[in-house]
């Protein structure tokens, strides 16, 4: 009886081990397939301005646009990373991209950003900016795309829709055509996300907070995922979006 029990236990043990090994194998087969597919997708996040070019400034606090752009861009990059998407930031600190050049810094800075995009061949490009307008009452987030880019328009529409759905939104916009170097100097789907108006004190008060920067970054991310789900293999793993 004891011997029989032992035999049974051994058989049961072998079966359990085989089952675990099988499960591990299945997991091992599935996991790389998933991550490889997600890693195939690369995006470029561009924090506008930097270095001597601070961009526009906040009407109340004098905060530099370049600082806010970087804060939102880093938060956006984190969201892409968490979703298993490869992300490249054009800048990771307050410096511009003009190196030790002495003349025509803005042009060199912009060309360096274009070169990063051309090298990375991304599924999409998002350039993060803050807006300014002579009439201080204007507020809200506004997206731009290159006139000749069908995919750029699709991306911009997705991000604009996501901005418009934010609870803080007081005025809904449509994505607009814009003649900007960061949009039309390469062939990849791209949009400029103007996250709000630093010429409006209410927008400025929101944009300088960490919590609202998170919300804005998430709205851009959600719009980008909607676009990727339509245009790339990312649509095969929609559950990843829910995990974030």
Nearer to Zn ion, 117 or 192 (CB): 192
Residue 236: phi, psi to the nearest 5? -75, -15
Q: Count CB-CB contacts under 10 A for residue 229.
A: 16
Q: How far is the CB of 194 from Zn ion (least distance, A)?
A: 7
Token pair for residue 32? Answer: 């790389």
Query: Whole-angstrom Cα distance, residue 126 to residue 152?
Result: 10
| Residue that is written with structure tokens 């007081």 in the block | 170
58 binds Zn ion per the rule CB under 5 A = no
Closer of 48 and 223 to Zn ion (Cβ): 48
196 touches Zn ion by CB under 5 A: no
Cα 58 to the center of its chain, rounded Å: 24
- Are the CB atoms for 163 and 141 separated by under 8 Å? yes
Residue 91 makes contact with Zn ion by CB under 5 A: no
CB of 217 to Zn ion, least distance (A): 16
Residue closer to Zn ion (CB basis): 129 or 153: 129
C-beta closer to Zn ion: residue 51 or 84: 51
Please state the closest distance from residue 226 (CB atom) to Zn ion, in A: 24
CB of 232 to Zn ion, least distance (A): 28
| Chain mean position to CA 3 | 63
Answer for the pair 19, 77: CB distance below 8 angstroms, yes or no.
Answer: no
CB of 80 to Zn ion, least distance (A): 21
Indicate the residue whose CB is closest to Zn ion.
129
> What is the DSSP pairing of strand 86-89 with strand 124-131?
unpaired
Which one, 113 or 226, has the nearer CB to Zn ion?
113
Q: How many CB atoms lie within 10 A of CB 233?
A: 14
Count of residues interacting with Zn ion (CB under 5 A): 3
Minimal distance, residue 133 CB to Zn ion, in Å: 13
Q: Is 55 in the site for Zn ion (CB under 5 A)?
A: yes
Instruction: Give whichever of 42 and 177 is closer to Zn ion, judged by the CB atom.
Output: 177
Question: Tell me, what DSSP letter sits at residue 77?
Answer: H
Q: Residues 106-145 vs Zn ion: string with x where CB under 5 A?
A: -----------------------x----------------
- 48 binds Zn ion, rule: CB under 5 A: yes
Q: Assign 57 to helix, strand or coil.
A: strand
> Phi and psi (nearest 5°) for 149?
-110, 105
Q: Could you list the residues that contact Zn ion (CB under 5 A)?
A: 48, 55, 129
């Amino acid at each position: 009886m004891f011997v029989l029990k032992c035999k049974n236990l051994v058989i049961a043990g072998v079966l359990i081990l085989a089952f675990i090994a099988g499960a591990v194998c299945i997991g091992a087969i599935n996991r790389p397939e998933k991550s490889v597919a997600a890693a195939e997708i690369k995006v470029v996040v561009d924090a506008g301005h930097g270095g001597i070019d601070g961009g526009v400034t906040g009407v109340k606090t004098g905060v530099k646009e370049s600082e806010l752009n970087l804060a939102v861009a880093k938060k956006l990059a984190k969201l892409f990373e968490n979703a298993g998407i490869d992300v490249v930031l054009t800048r990771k600190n307050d410096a511009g991209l003009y190196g030790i050049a002495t003349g025509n810094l803005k042009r060199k800075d912009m060309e360096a950003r274009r070169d990063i995009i051309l090298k990375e061949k991304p599924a999409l490009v998002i350039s993060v900016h803050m807006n300014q307008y002579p009439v201080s009452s204007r507020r809200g987030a506004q997206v731009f795309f290159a006139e000749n880019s069908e995919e750029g328009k699709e991306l911009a529409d997705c991000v604009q829709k996501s901005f418009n759905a934010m609870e803080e939104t007081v005025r809904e916009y449509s994505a607009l055509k814009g003649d900007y170097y960061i949009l039309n100097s390469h062939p990849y789907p791209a949009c400029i996300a103007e996250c709000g108006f630093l010429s409006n004190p209410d927008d400025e008060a929101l944009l300088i907070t960490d919590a609202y920067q998170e919300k804005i970054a998430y709205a851009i991310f959600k719009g980008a995922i909607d676009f990727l789900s339509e245009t790339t293999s990312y649509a095969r793993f929609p559950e990843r979006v829910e995990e974030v």
